[in-house]
A and B are shown apart, each in its own frame.
Chain A
Amino acid sequence: MPIQINTSVKGKEYPPYRVHVERGKIKEFARAIGDLSPLYLDDAVAAAGPWGDIIAPPTFAITFRDEGADTGVLLRDLGVDIGRILHGEQEFEHFKPIRPGQTYLCRGRVSDIYEKAGKSGPMAFVVRETIVTDSDNEIVALMRGTTVVRL
């Protein structure tokens, strides 16, 4: 018997939250992926590089989380257990590099929810979009992620 999810979550906007990017988190993230570019890991090499400091790898903004807007909140809103979800799709668009020591503002919302039959049964697709801006109020990145719920 498939479960029901709370589709009224579509359109919900989460409270904006700020994230401060720590130098060590960029390095920890690059190392976890096994990407050992000195432009992520070596302060001295990066200081002489195009940005004058290390920058974050392309998928780093996925670490921008907040207790008021994370997947746990989404799951509670939907009424879904964490064991039922899979990551379906993910997109990033970058406008400026993400730098250590900077504080960014994240604004997220649930942009779409739809259901369809998957190979292994009915699925719901929940699309979340997050806009990341910097202290100059300029857009730094856009993220769009699709969470698949096994109903």
Chain B
Amino acid sequence: MQYAKVYAEDVHVGSEMPPLVKPPIQQIQLTRYAGASGDFNPIHQDAAFAKAAGMSDVFAHGMLSMGFLAQSVTDWFGVGTVRKLGVRFAALVRLGDVVTCKGKVVAKHPSVGGTRPSLVDLELWAENQKGEKVITGKATAALVSRT
């Protein structure tokens, strides 16, 4: 198995991340994420609660979408490469939504002296099936050299 999926030499400013298309959001995934994360806010589980709080229905944890975005980076660059990840939650992700993560390289900081990994800055976002951005952000990943 290859752990360094992408080497520093393989990416350049403008390189596009392979889009990650996640399955439609289902209630069971929100329940699993609640259990896994410890975020049991009923607004993600209970439609009556969500409506009483002024929302049209339950909606996904923002952190679930952030998890998708993190996966899109590690699917491309490899597990353990993410040094920084920061996002803004732009719109609610609702039941049935199909979230697609996209991104591109906006800067590359070559290894200094060849002993440290190169750092690659990414612009990231995720869209729903209507093309609306539900999350925007940026990441910095550490990539080793091929040699």
Contacts and interface: CB of A to CB of B under 8 A. Distances in A.
Interface of A: 25, 28-29, 31-35, 37-40, 45, 48-51, 55, 57-59, 62-63, 65, 71, 82-94, 97, 144, 150
Interface residues on B, range: 35 or more
Contacts of B79: 37, 39-40, 55, 57
Q: Could you say which of B43, B71, B75 has the most chain A C-beta atoms within 10 Å of its C-beta?
A: B71
Interface string B60-74: 011110111011011
Nearest to B73: A58
B116 interface: no
Interface stretch (B10-18, B31-39, B103-111, B125-133): B31-39
Interface of B: 1, 3, 22-23, 29, 32-33, 35-39, 41-43, 49, 52-54, 61-64, 66-68, 70-71, 73-75, 79-80, 82-89
A116 to B, nearest CB: 14
Contacts of A37: 74-75, 79
Nearest to B138: A91
A145 to B, nearest CB: 9
Given A29-B36, A59-B66, A50 B89 contact: no
Given A39-B79, A93-B84, A59 B63 contact: yes
Nearest to A64: B38
Contacts of A33: 33, 36, 64, 67-68, 70-71
A48 B37 CA distance: 28
Nearest to A148: B89
